[in-house]
Amino acid sequence: MKIAIASGKGGTGKTTLAVNLASYIAGLEDVTGKVVLVDMDVEEPNSGLFIKGDLMKSEIKYRMVPEWIGDKCTFCKKCAGVCNFNALAYIGVSVLIFPELCHSCYACSELCPEDALPMKADRMGELRHYSISDNLHFVESRLDIGIEQAVPLIKETHDFLKSEYDESDIKIVDSPPGTSCPVIEAVKDADLVVLVTEPTPFGLNDLKLAVDTMKELDKRFAVVINRSGIGNDEVERYCFDNGISLIGKIPQMQLAAELYSKGQLMIEIDEIKREIDKIWRNIVELK
Amino acid sequence: MKEIVVISGKGGTGKTSITASFAVLGGKDVVVADCDVDAADMHLLLKPDFAYKEKFYSGKVAEIIQDECIKCGKCKDVCRFDAVPIIDDNYVIDELNCEGCGYCSYVCPTDAIIMKDSLSGDFFISKTRIGNTLVHAKLAIAADNSGKLVTQVRTEAKKIAEENNIPYIIADGSPGIGCPVVASVTGSNLVVIVTEPTVSGLHDMSRVAELISKFGIKSVCIINKADLNRNITIGIREFLDNKKIPLIAELPYDLAFADAITAGKTIVEHNDGIIKSTIEESWKKILELV
Amino acid sequence: MKIVFAATGGNWDSKVDSRFGRAEGFVLYDEEKDELSWHSNAENKAAGHGAGVQAGQKVVSLGADVVVTGGNFGPKAAEVIQAAGIRMIPDAGEVTLKEAYTKIKK
Ligand code: SF4
Ligand code: SF4
Ligand code: SF4
Ligand code: SF4
């Protein structure tokens, strides 16, 4: 089972829910199989600040980018203008490649008549695999600074999950925020997407964007309200009016904010633990 | 004309509430730019009239003209993004997967593939309820937030400021540390970093500060929710001291922020106490420093 | 000598643009011919990522010896321009092309 936790915007409690939910269900007796928390917010993975364990494995991840072999180049100019992403500059005396802009489409490489632009592996980031407890694992992928393509690393992370875990293991995915390509890649093949929002006009606005995205992708989704108690009931009404399952409300508590600030789990608070339990039961029912 | 950009690294620090307050305090002396195009929220507080709207295109997407296709399959062979499925015996483009690289159009023997501009959002120029101008935008779903839309928002705001002799632009910057935030800050005069004393807040703000210093732009910092975790607040102060970034204000953790948003107002219009005066003070400092 | 300015308009009174990759356009001044020409950067301004690379390529193709911008070039544009052996003058400030040119000549 794969559950993706997402939100229209950062800072709504997406990471909080992912980390607390994963930790909570790993401690349940009726959960067989492994629980794995996966941080796919590869540009700014933050889950690791809340959950510590032993590093089992770290893998450098690569993608393919062309390399210019000056000796082979006949300056035929065929590659000039081929790259739609400005990753290749033909400047008469040489050909420059900007790996961080390359989308690995292979066009320049395969269109070059002299084989002067072979594709080679280029580092884009690192995947780390931790053991937190007997049945809780943590996978974190981090994009190198300066690399602009998040999607290939997210793809690699999905592949890693496939190779390491079974269908029956529970994967909780902390997705990147927003509605753009990385989110779409991160929620791919999730059985259910849980959208986290706050009960304010900002939260409602961001939630609507997220809901539109899920509809466009034809994804099953449900909503969790974080910091319930502040703001107003418009988010709740929106969910009700649109037939969207609202599967939990994590209460606003100063203590919770303080625990969060220290990088600690909120399931230490009973009230919140009960709500996380309810969210989990609802997920099981829905997926 | 001076451009002030407010950023935060991570979300949820109160960046938009503070920026909108500056927009109100600046009044007719500012043009407001919402560069948080992924999830723009400023309009919820400033109630713009959406008077001018324009479609925004960015990047490319392939399209196969079926009448000219001889079904040779070359496009499907070269596409590295699984974007050419065969549906009802026809080669078609899956727009959600198409990366817009154009490789297929290079190899198609009959030139049956055209590369169209891909629609990636809407762009608006509005009058706000306080009477100043807001330039804002909305990125389309699954669009690539490359910074181009952000650049367009900033360019337009600049033009309006110049034409009307308005001395300041106040911009709500993009979140994160990627391309959009780079597009929001390059060439600006002052960056205001809004952070909060949490482990992730500190972590993200140090990455953002590093990025800003690379571009050689002057920056100042506001710590929001400063009393939430005294130890981290002290850590942030030390960090700022080291980096020679002036700390211009510390705001308390206060539910008044959420209340103001709920009332559709900025925090300076909603609160009469310490929060209001602190934000007013920081706006003054910003105008002195910029 | 051929000098290229990142600029907001096509004459001597136009301002030097503080951006490079996403500048409005480029003005080429050919000293020998005493000729000023405007080259719009509209398509680069509209580029998603890598506007700097494309703008750099454009300046190279204009045959510049020196290139001037009001702010800085950005790392990618700088790499392209440097590889082509063109001299870069950043930080010209918010001045007119005329003022910038006079300053360079000094
Ligand atoms: S296509 Fe190949 S041979 Fe031709 S200029 Fe480019 S790199 Fe050189
Ligand atoms: S592989 Fe594609 S994206 Fe990369 S440089 Fe070549 S043409 Fe550009
Ligand atoms: S443009 Fe590129 S990604 Fe899109 S269909 Fe053609 S080859 Fe595939
Ligand atoms: S390459 Fe051109 S002709 Fe061949 S299948 Fe594709 S669209 Fe049709």
CATH, residue B233: 3.40.50.300
pLDDT value, residue C87: 92
Name the residue among B168, B203, B151, B138 with its Cα closest to residue B31: B168
| Structural domain includes residue B99 | yes
Nearest to C48 among B148, B155, B215 (CB): B148
Are B146 and C48 an interchain contact pair (Cβ–Cβ within 8 Å)?
Answer: yes
In the structure encoding, which two tokens stand for residue A141, read together? Answer: 């992928």
- Chain A: give the shortest CA distance to residue B162, in Å: 31
pLDDT value, residue B162: 93
Determine contact: B115 vs chain C, CB below 8 A. no
| Structural domain includes residue B54 | no
Interface of C with A in 81-100 (CB under 8 A): 83-85
Ligand 1 contact via A94 beta carbon (within 6 Å): no
- Chain C: give the shortest CA distance to residue A146, in Å: 11
Collapsing DSSP to helix, strand or coil, A9 comes out as coil
ipTM, 2 dp: 0.88
Claim to verify: residue B268 and residue B193 sit in the same structural domain: yes
- A2 bridge partner residues: A171
pLDDT digits (tens, 9 = 90+) for C3-18: 999 999 989 999 999 8
State the distance from the centre of ligand 1 to the C-alpha of C69, rounded, in angstroms: 31
Pocket of ligand 3 from Cβ distances under 6 Å = A 105; B 62, 78-79, 81, 83-84, 93, 98-104
In the structure encoding, which two tokens stand for residue A36, read together? Answer: 């794995």
pLDDT digits (tens, 9 = 90+) for C50-104: 888 989 999 999 999 999 998 888 888 999 999 999 999 989 888 999 899 998 8
Claim to verify: residue B20 and residue B161 sit in the same structural domain: yes
Residue C43 predicted with pLDDT over 80: no
Residue A140 predicted with pLDDT over 80: yes
pTM value > 0.90: no
Are C83 and A94 an interchain contact pair (Cβ–Cβ within 8 Å)?
Answer: yes
pLDDT value, residue B109: 97
Find out whether B246 and B192 touch, Cβ atoms under 8 Å: no
- Atom 8, ligand 1: which residue's CA is nearest? A73
**C48 — pLDDT class (breaks 50, 70, 90):** low
CATH number at residue B109: 3.30.70.20
- Atom 4, ligand 4: which residue's CA is nearest? B72
Give the number of other CB atoms < 10 A from CB of residue A265.
18
Nearest to C53 among A92, A94, A101 (CB): A101
d(CA A196, CA A12): 6
Higher local confidence (pLDDT), C47 or A200:
A200
CA A90 from centroid of its chain's CA atoms: 35
Which of C49, C53, C69, C94 best probes binding to B when mutated, by most B CB atoms within 10 angstroms? C49
Give the number of other CB atoms < 10 A from CB of residue B111.
9
Higher local confidence (pLDDT), C47 or A119:
A119
Claim to verify: residue B247 and residue B275 sit in the same structural domain: yes
Q: pLDDT digit of tens for each residue in chain B (290 aa)?
A: 999 999 998 788 999 999 999 999 999 999 999 999 988 999 999 999 999 999 998 888 999 999 999 999 999 999 999 999 999 999 999 988 899 999 999 999 999 999 999 888 999 999 999 999 999 999 888 787 767 889 889 999 999 999 999 999 999 998 877 778 888 998 899 999 999 999 988 888 888 888 888 888 999 999 999 999 999 999 999 999 999 999 999 999 999 999 999 999 999 999 888 999 999 999 999 999 99
What is the per-residue burial (b if ≥16 Cβ within 10 Å, else e) of A149-183?
Answer: bbbbbbebbbebbeeebeeebbbbbbbbbbbbbbb
Claim to verify: residue B89 and residue B211 sit in the same structural domain: no
Q: H-type helices in B136-273, by residue range?
A: 148-163, 179-185, 199-214, 230-243, 256-262, 267-270
Residues near B269 by beta carbon (within 8 Å), at least 6 away in sequence:
B24, B260
Name the residue among B192, B170, B184, B189 with its Cα closest to residue B248: B192
Claim to verify: residue B110 and residue B134 sit in the same structural domain: no
Amino acid of residue A62 = Y
Closest atom of ligand 4 to B104 CA is: 1
Name the residue among B180, B115, B118, B127 with its Cα closest to residue B149: B180
Are B179 and C49 an interchain contact pair (Cβ–Cβ within 8 Å)?
Answer: yes
Instruction: Look at chain B and report how many structural domains it folds into.
Output: 2
Boundaries of domain holding B177: 2-47+128-289
Claim to verify: residue B144 and residue B259 sit in the same structural domain: yes
| Touching partners of B (3+ C-beta pairs < 8 Å) | A, C
pLDDT value, residue A92: 87
Claim to verify: residue B136 and residue B253 sit in the same structural domain: yes
State the distance from the centre of ligand 2 to the C-alpha of B2, rounded, in angstroms: 38
Ligand 1 contact via A116 beta carbon (within 6 Å): yes
pLDDT value, residue B271: 87
Does the domain at A2-62+125-286 match CATH 3.40.50.300? Answer given as: yes
Topology of domain C2-105, CATH: Nucleotidyltransferase; domain 5 (3.30.420)
Higher local confidence (pLDDT), A146 or A70:
A70
- Chain B: give the shortest CA distance to residue A29, in Å: 31
pLDDT value, residue B253: 93
Q: How many CA atoms lie within 13 A of B176 on its CB side?
A: 31
pLDDT value, residue A204: 96
Residue A275 predicted with pLDDT over 80: yes
Are A92 and C53 an interchain contact pair (Cβ–Cβ within 8 Å)?
Answer: no
- Strand A54-66 and strand A119-133: pairing? antiparallel
Task: Please report which ligand is nearest the Cα atom of A86.
Answer: 2
Q: Classify residue A23 as exposed, middle or buried by CB count within 10 Å of its CB (0-12, 13-18, 19+).
A: buried
Claim to verify: residue B170 and residue B247 sit in the same structural domain: yes
- Strand A136-143 and strand A119-133: pairing? antiparallel
State the distance from the centre of ligand 2 to the C-alpha of A118, rounded, in angstroms: 11
Nearest to B39 among A8, A252, A260 (CB): A8
Write down the domain spans for chain C: 2-105
In the structure encoding, which two tokens stand for residue B206, read together? Answer: 């140090």
pLDDT digits (tens, 9 = 90+) for A81-99: 899 999 999 998 899 999 8
Among the listed ranges A13-17, A28-32, A150-154, which one has the minimum average pLDDT value?
A28-32
Are C50 and A90 an interchain contact pair (Cβ–Cβ within 8 Å)?
Answer: no
Q: At what angle do helices A14-26 and A270-286 cross, to 10 degrees?
A: 80
Which of B136, B141, B177 best probes binding to A when mutated, by most A CB atoms within 10 angstroms? B141
Claim to verify: residue B65 and residue B198 sit in the same structural domain: no
Claim to verify: residue B38 and residue B68 sit in the same structural domain: no
Contacts of B187 in chain C (CB under 8 A): 18-19, 71
- Atom 4, ligand 2: which residue's CA is nearest? A102
Amino acid of residue B167 = P
Q: What is the mean pLDDT of residues A246-273?
A: 94
For chain C, the first-to-last Cα distance in angstroms comes to 15
Collapsing DSSP to helix, strand or coil, A159 comes out as helix
Residue of A nearest to C76 (CA): A98
Claim to verify: residue B165 and residue B148 sit in the same structural domain: yes
CATH architecture group of domain A68-117? 2-Layer Sandwich (3.30)
Are B151 and C18 an interchain contact pair (Cβ–Cβ within 8 Å)?
Answer: no
Ligand 2 contact via B228 beta carbon (within 6 Å): no
Ligand 1 contact via A89 beta carbon (within 6 Å): no
| Structural domain includes residue B52 | no
Claim to verify: residue B73 and residue B168 sit in the same structural domain: no
In chain B, beta strands by DSSP E: 2-7, 30-34, 52-64, 86-87, 90-91, 113-127, 133-139, 168-172, 190-195, 219-223, 247-250
State the distance from the centre of ligand 1 to the C-alpha of A43, rounded, in angstroms: 34
d(CA B59, CA A82): 14
Q: How many CA atoms lie within 13 A of A186 on its CB side?
A: 30
Residues near A284 by beta carbon (within 8 Å), at least 6 away in sequence:
none
Residues near C105 by beta carbon (within 8 Å), at least 6 away in sequence:
none
State the distance from the centre of ligand 2 to the C-alpha of C41, rounded, in angstroms: 22
Altogether, the residues listed in chain C come to a count of 106
Find out whether B197 and B10 touch, Cβ atoms under 8 Å: no
